[in-house]
Amino acid sequence: MTKPSKTSRQLSLRFFYGLAGICLLLMTQPVLAQEIALPDIGNPSGNILTPAEEQRLGQAFMRSIRNTMPVIQDPLLSAYIQSLGDQLVNANNDALGSFEFFLINSPQINAFAGPGGYIGVYSGLLTTTESESELASVIAHEVAHVTQKHLVRTYDAVKSMSLPAAALAIAAVAIGAATNNSDFAVAAAAGVQAGMIQREINFTRSHEEEADSIGIQTLAAAGFDPTAMPVFFSRMGKASRLYDNGKLPEFLRTHPVTTNRIADAYGRSDSYPYKQRSDSLGYHLAKERLRVLAFNDAREGIEFYSQTLKDGRYRNEEAHQYGYLLSLMGNREYAKATELATLLTDLRPGQIEYLVAKAELEKLEGKPELGLKTLESGLTGHPGNYPLSIYLAQALLDSGKPQAVTPLLEKLLEGHPQNALIYKLLAQAAGDAGKKTQGHRYLSEYYYHTGALKEAQMQLEIALKDRNLSYYESAKMAARLKEIRQEKKDLDARDR
């Protein structure tokens, strides 16, 4: 094998952003993903795209996602999907480095894997699954795509293409992603040879088979029901009969469910001992929290939960009580909500969701100090907990105590260095404390991590106008501004 050149190893930021756009388009345009070949981002041995480079690509990919898609920032929902993903990553022996799992606010039934271990799950998938093992099966499948380096290995399937054909395919995908014009991308790709298209489809199918196999293995190792994957596939396959081909749910378009695939999945799962696993309470609470967020009006939630609780139509009564509590709070029925919150916290004093609801309710009732004590007490029992830390920071800001927020969130930032919400709260805390320059610096990082490079640059330029900055602070911010300007320049050059 020919050793890659120094130039091929030193990938530019422009290339990173171009690939991030390509990954984003492949995720949002499943038909196009099968018709267009992918560019060279490495080979199976990883000697072209290093782990560090792949991580940089993943971060650029994630900034593109935050800038173009409705990523859910709800701390409780974020913590749940990350916790579930971590269980699966820990059970996969090939999973190296960090993984980030996040939810997209969309009724689509789908999930996707990006470079660098960034895995997105549509909220519609969570609400549609009938068990936590089913949800875990789809996520385990996506984790396998990352661990088996399918994005990296794809080049081996098309490296025999002629350079013009490869250049056309890459341009079609990149331009389509940059302009959000999938029609243009499809038209530009019309000249790609039919043989190459079929070869790419076949390679994609082999990826899916391998991800299914390793996903089932991961499910079993993590203690989930390994038959959940074929069960979910089977249910999705039956549902597909209700749709015209052009109206299939996104999951069925990007993960075609055939009779052979279902049979293969059942065959693989049968090699593992039967595992009956109860769904976690967190799974049920997350589903109900999403349901409440989807109601147009809190009164809809009250009507729904009061009726289902009365009729006994629920999978988990406790989770339905939680949904009812959130609906009561949303409709300002604080007396009933307090009674229910007390019932739930007495039942499970350490349950994070209940502690947060109790604290929020105390604040809504005009007792913010009680709410602060509830959150502080919860954080004592769960040190470093992400949702509790975020809600405590917000409560402190609402109570006019910004000085206490900065040390709390800067410590939290150590474990969540790419988290845009933390930077946003830090910016607010600095501004409220009269530290405007620091506020601009944090706000710059917030914009940067949400993909808004122009705004990130502007905030740092404002911060650098402070004549009271020390030499060290000024040099540090100037260096960061240089980095952001270069990234913006590379991105702008790609868009021209």
Residue closest to 95 by CA, chosen among 145, 56, 154, 153: 145
**Are 325 and 342 a contacting pair, CB within 8 Å?**
no
Of 38-47, 108-117, 237-246, 370-379, where does the model show the most confidence?
370-379
Q: What string of DSSP letters covers 153-187?
A: HTHHHHTTS-HHHHHHHHHHHHHHHHHT-HHHHHH
Give the bridge partners for 100, in sequence order. Answer: 118
pLDDT for the residue numbered 251: 53
pLDDT of residue 431: 96
Give 91-119 pLDDT, tens digit per residue. 998 888 889 999 999 888 888 887 788 89
Which of 23-37, 256-270, 444-458 is modeled with the greatest confidence? 444-458
Rounded average pLDDT over 16-25? 47
The encoded tokens of residue 19 equal 């690939």
pLDDT band at 7 (very low <50, low <70, confident <90, very high): very low
Task: Return the H-helix or E-strand segment holding 453.
Answer: helix 453-463
Say if residues 268 and 213 touch (Cβ distance below 8 Å): yes
Q: Is the sign of the CA dihedral 423, 427, 428, 433 positive or negative?
A: positive
Whole-angstrom Cα distance, residue 474 to residue 400? Answer: 29
**30-44, 207-221, 247-261, 283-297: range with lowest mean pLDDT:** 30-44
Q: 30-39 burial by CB neighbour count: b if 16+ within 10 A, else e?
A: bebbbbbbbb
pLDDT number for residue 257: 59
| CB contact at 8 A, 90 and 147 | no
Q: What local confidence, expressed as pLDDT, does residue 255 receive?
A: 59
For residue 197, the model assigns a pLDDT of 43
pLDDT at residue 178 is higher than 80? no
Stronger pLDDT, 61 or 119, i.e. the higher one: 119
**Is residue 322 over pLDDT 90?**
yes
Mean pLDDT on 387-401: 97
291 or 37, higher pLDDT: 291
- Look at residue 324 and tell me whether its pLDDT is greater than 50: yes
> Confidence class of residue 265 from pLDDT cuts 50, 70 and 90?
confident
| 436 has pLDDT over 90 | yes
pLDDT for 211 equals 84
pLDDT of residue 163: 34
The set of catalytic residues is: 142, 212
Residue 101 and residue 143 in contact, taking contact as beta carbons nearer than 8 Å: no
pLDDT of residue 39: 36
CA dihedral 149, 151, 155, 157 (to 10 degrees): 80
Q: Would you say residue 173 has pLDDT above 70?
A: no
Q: State percent of the chain over pLDDT 70.
A: 72
Question: What per-residue confidence (pLDDT) applies to 177?
Answer: 33
Give yes or no for residue 41 having a pLDDT over 70.
no
pLDDT given at position 3: 46
The pTM for the full model equals 0.81
Mean pLDDT lowest among 244-248, 454-458, 485-489: 244-248
pLDDT at 93: 87
Residue 474 has pLDDT above 90, yes or no: yes
Mean pLDDT of the chain: 79
The DSSP 8-state label assigned to residue 71 in this structure reads B
Residue 248 has pLDDT above 90, yes or no: no
Q: SS3 helix, strand, coil % of the chain, rounded to 5?
A: 70, 5, 25
Is residue 48 over pLDDT 90? no
- Residue 423: pLDDT above 70? yes
Which residue, 425, 424, 417, 428, is CA-closest to 59? 417
Question: What is the per-residue pLDDT for 297?
Answer: 93
Share of residues in the chain with pLDDT > 90 (%): 52
CB 124 within 8 A of CB 239: no
What's the average model confidence in pLDDT over 420-435? 97
Give the chain's largest Cα–Cα span: 73
Least confident of 140-149, 319-328, 431-440: 140-149
Band (86; pLDDT cuts 50, 70, 90): very high
Across 15-29, 207-221, 459-473, least confident range: 15-29
Residue 318 has pLDDT above 90, yes or no: yes
Give helix 471-495 / helix 163-179 axis angle, nearest 10°: 110
Mean local confidence (pLDDT), 373-399: 96
38-42, 102-106, 490-494, range with greatest mean pLDDT: 102-106
At 269 the pLDDT is 79
Q: Quick one: which H or E segment has residue 111? A: strand 111-113
Place of tokens 């039956």: 238
Strongest mean pLDDT among 6-10, 93-97, 292-296: 292-296
Buried b / exposed e along 203-238 (16+ C-beta atoms within 10 A): bbeebbebbbbbbbbbbbbbebbbbbbbbbbbbbbe
Write out the two tokens for 70. Answer: 């409705």
pLDDT confidence of residue 192: 42
For residues 109 and 221, the model is more confident at 221
The rounded distance, in Å, linking the Cα atoms of 313 and 305 is 9
